[in-house]
Amino acid sequence: MPDFDPFLAEWAAFAANARHSLVERGLKMAQLLEYPDLDIAAYAARIAAMRESFRLDVDRARGPTGAIGALNAHVFGTCGFRGNFEDHYDPRNNFLNEVIDRRTGIAITVSIIYAEVARGAGIDVGLVSFPGRVLARHGDVVIDAVAGGRILSEGDVAALLEAAVGPGAELTQALLAPATPERLLVRMARNLKHSYMHSYAHDRALRCARMALALAPDSAEDVRDAGLLEARLQNRKGAIEHLGRYLEINPNGDDVDHVLEIIRQMRSSL
């Protein structure tokens, strides 16, 4: 397997430490990938200030929709956050420091900030790693935070699922289960991987694949992508190791013949 990588070791240790909040772990990802001088504590303090300034001005008897309405007013009104639907592949959408500075991001980053601010008033908002986009959830209320905190009906959620995976997809409660911080961090790393691949920044994309694998080592998608990126970068030994591992994890994949051919090419040029 690949040699010891201090970059990955630092990431894995920080990301696995439950004493760090999800916001802090997301900021660490940004620091390691693009912003070496990023002050994690300073950005976390800015989120804490937003959280502490949020005073729920609504009678709890009005129920969850009243609480969410007040939260929406604060996050999207007072604080000025909004979803970025114009340039999904801009890596800045996945870096929490950029989202805090620019007040715009994609579903996962906006939702992380949304849930963190909710804690300021004791509102328990969980995050759901839903197909297509991350959603928020307060009890039985499902919320599309990136769309301004829109409360979703069951039909709305089913429509999002169909748009993400195709007609006939079954909406199950498992799809709406709360996601662990690790699962969300893996999703952030994958988003960045795809953003960097889109701009042909293969070295950065490979780092993101490795960051995802540090938290989900048996992820077939990330093992495969790490191998393909290693091949593009002419890291033949790494490509062979990752792609061989992919075939062990997913021996019946539709892309097996393609992967075998890349392994053959890499071996022939060693």
CA distance 64 to 190: 32
Helices (H), 16-125: 22-33, 40-53, 64-72, 96-102, 107-118
User: Would you say residue 216 has pLDDT above 90?
Assistant: yes
pLDDT tens for residues 49-96? Answer: 999 888 655 545 366 778 899 899 999 999 999 999 888 889 999 999
Query: How crowded is residue 258: how many other Cβ atoms within 10 Å of its Cβ?
Result: 13
Q: What single-letter DSSP state applies at residue 3?
A: P
pLDDT of residue 55: 67
CB neighbour burial string for 170-205, b if at least 16 within 10 angstroms, e if fewer: ebeeebbeebebbebbbbbbbbbbbbbbeeebbebb
Q: How far is CA 64 from CA 10, 103, 123, 151, in A?
A: 40, 25, 9, 10
pTM of the model: 0.93
Q: What single-letter DSSP state applies at residue 78?
A: I
Backbone angles phi and psi of 81, in degrees to 5: -75, 150
pLDDT of residue 4: 72
Q: Residues 105, 83: contact at Cβ < 8 Å?
A: yes
* Residue position matching structure tokens 């114009």: 86
CA distance 229 to 197: 9
Local confidence band at 130 (pLDDT 50, 70, 90 cut-offs) = very high
Mean model confidence pLDDT for the chain: 93
pLDDT tens for residues 4-22? Answer: 789 999 999 999 999 999 9
User: Would you say residue 257 has pLDDT above 90?
Assistant: yes
CA distance 45 to 97: 12
User: Would you say residue 28 has pLDDT above 70?
Assistant: yes
User: Would you say residue 175 has pLDDT above 50?
Assistant: yes
Give the list of residues 6+ apart from residue 2 with CB closer than 8 angstroms, or none: 238, 241
Domains and CATH numbers, the chain: 6-176 (no CATH), 181-268 (1.25.40.10)
* Residue position matching structure tokens 């802090």: 24
SS (H, E, C) 136-156: EEECCEEEEHHHCCEEECHHH
Strands 141-144 and 150-152: antiparallel
Q: Residues 65, 142: contact at Cβ < 8 Å?
A: no
- CA 143 to centroid of chain Cα atoms: 17
CA distance 71 to 69: 5
pLDDT tens for residues 238-250? Answer: 999 999 999 999 9
Q: What single-letter DSSP state applies at residue 61?
A: G
pLDDT of residue 5: 86
